[in-house]
């Protein structure tokens, strides 16, 4: 979990720091379902609706966001790799699913099927803790 968690934390910091520029909202939608292994070994699933999606192209790079309330979803291509995207999904209680896996996406949205990643939690002091290295997300984000 170490290397994946370090990468995920770095990605989460980039996604949460200052990338709030978004285009006009649209009538898109969808939902993402994050499934992860809890500390007690049980499987937990959280459904996150895609509300108020905003899909923008900034300097030739797509940025997809659904910034509604606590359910913030952000997707953007990894620098220099148009087929590899970074995806962050806030799932509540300070927890976030993060993946930098490969999936097809463009300015109109994306669909993922069991895209693997990690779940982290941000503590009240700002530190990030690994919750699950065995997590995945499925669903669609439509602009």
Residue scoring higher pLDDT (7 or 136)? 136
pLDDT of residue 6: 44
Q: Where is 61: in which H helix or E strand? A: strand 61-66
Residue scoring higher pLDDT (111 or 18)? 111
Q: Where is 3: in which H helix or E strand? A: helix 2-16
pLDDT of residue 70: 66
Burial label, 96 (beta-carbon count in 10 A; 0-12, 13-18, 19+) = buried
């Amino acid at each position: 979990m170490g290397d994946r968690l370090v990468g995920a934390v770095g990605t989460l910091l980039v996604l949460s720091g200052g990338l709030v520029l978004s285009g006009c909202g649209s009538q898109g939608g969808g939902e993402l379902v994050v499934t992860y292994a809890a500390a007690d070994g049980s499987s937990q699933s959280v459904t996150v609706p895609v509300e108020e999606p905003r899909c923008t192209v900034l300097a030739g790079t797509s940025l997809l966001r659904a910034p509604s309330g606590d359910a913030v979803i952000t997707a953007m291509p990894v620098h220099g790799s148009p087929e590899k995207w970074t995806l962050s999904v806030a799932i509540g209680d300070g927890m976030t699913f993060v993946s930098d896996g490969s999936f097809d996406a463009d300015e109109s949205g994306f669909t993922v099927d069991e895209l693997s990643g990690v779940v982290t939690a941000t503590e009240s002091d700002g530190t990030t803790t690994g919750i699950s290295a065995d997590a995945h997300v499925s669903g669609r984000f439509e602009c």
